[in-house]
Amino acid sequence: MRRLVAETTVVPSQLVLPLFVAEGCDEPTAISSMPGVVQHSLDSLLRAAEHAVEAGVGGLMLFGIPAQKDSVASAGIDPAGVLNRAISAVVGEVGDATVVMSDLCLDEFTDHGHCGLLAADGTVDNDATLQRYAEMALAQAAAGVHMVGTSGMMDGQVGVVRAALDSAGHLDVAVLAYAAKYASAFYGPFREAVASSLDGDRRTYQQDPANRREALREVELDLAEGADVVMVKPALGYLDVLSDVAAVSQVPVAAYCVSGEYSMVEAAAAAGYFDRRAVVLEILTSIRRAGADLILTYWAVEAGGWMADPPGGVRTAQEAQ
């Protein structure tokens, strides 16, 4: 009876798995602050992508870690750069069996670790960065990506990327806009995952956790600029924001259950403080209940597997418990 009247479901096709690929990496390398998550080699990335497709996961979000970072994020634009090579390899492997997405941001590629280019005084130069995002979008589209994730929080980034894609004929490449992205300490483990060299913080371009209305302005701007999906990030501490966004958005809404959310659950579960599987499923259900159509989560494959357990059928998160 509970199943019959359940208001919220979570199924694997609503989940997107973030994956890290590191240049010069021969085998998967553990990320100590994210137990169970690795930096992949190109080979192991393809196996992980294949495995995710078998689990029925709806999408993959690729992050690249270059061997060389510089002030202008050259490796992000280089067609032979680690992320662009990974995109074409993954698309070659999985084709249209899942949605292949890529992080369209400079921070993995800059030696200063910021999501934008720096002006002479050390501040992030929003407008100079936009040009770089456009070039990066074209490189990723040329590699065959299905959807780009504009995660840098520069003003105007969605419009510039959309225009660049359109003018180069990439009409079918979609834009997942990280619309309401907060300056969050929950990204801590991710910075290890991408070997970020950021010294400082991103408070001049990411949002203040104290602000709720501001998220709606960010979403409206991204929608007007052509976003195909809008995202709220992080997820758990921002379910109110997610709910607000879901109430007004005319396009699908995503939520990113980020590295720190993953790691705190893993740490508590490893200490035996709670039932890991039940907590993960409860979290995913809560994010869906708040209004997310899709969820980026490091648990995508594992949780998807729990939902798909019975032969021939997909179970919802609630049943999987």
For ligand PBG, the binding residues (CB under 6 A) are: 103, 105, 107, 115, 151, 187, 190, 202, 258-259
For residue 231, the minimal CB distance to ligand PBG (Å) is 10
Q: How far apart are the first and last CA of the chain?
A: 15
Closer by beta carbon to ligand PBG, 146 or else 202:
202
What are the distances in angstroms from CA 245 to CA 30, 119, 265?
A: 35, 33, 26
What six digits make up the tokens of 4? 């019959």
Closest separation between CB of residue 110 and ligand PBG, Å?
A: 10
d(CA 217, CA 245): 10
Among residues 258 and 308, whose Cβ is nearest to ligand PBG?
258
Judge whether 57 and 77 are in contact, CB under 8 Å.
Answer: no
Q: Closest approach of Cβ 223 to ligand PBG, in Å?
A: 20
How far is residue 297's CA from residue 304's CA, in Å, rounded to a whole number?
11
SS3 135: helix
| CB neighbour list of residue 312: distance below 8 Å, 6 or more residues apart | none
Our CB check for ligand PBG shows the closer of 207 and 259 to be 259
Burial degree of 93 (CB within 10 A; 0-12, 13-18, 19+) = middle
Pick the closest to residue 286 from 259, 255, 249 (CA basis).
255
Q: What are phi and psi of 55, to 5 degrees?
A: -80, -5
- Least Å distance, CB 115 to ligand PBG, is 6
- Would you say 242 or 320 has its CB closer to ligand PBG? 242
Does 69 qualify as catalytic in the annotation? no
Q: Is residue 180 a contact partner of residue 249, using CB atoms and an 8 Å limit?
A: no
Residue closest to ligand PBG when measured from CB atoms: 190
Neighbours of 278 (CB within 10 A): 12
When the beta carbons of 170 and 202 are compared against ligand PBG, the nearer one is 202
State the helix-helix crossing angle for 239-248 and 276-290, rounded to 10 degrees.
40
CB of 5 to ligand PBG, least distance (A): 34
What is the DSSP code (8-state) at residue 29?
A: E
106/245 with CB nearer ligand PBG: 106
The single residue of 69, 114, 146, 181 carrying the catalytic annotation is 181
Q: Which residue is catalytic, options 40, 233, 288, 315? A: 233
Q: Least separation, in Å, of the C-beta of 184 and ligand PBG?
A: 8
- Residues marked active site are found at 181, 233
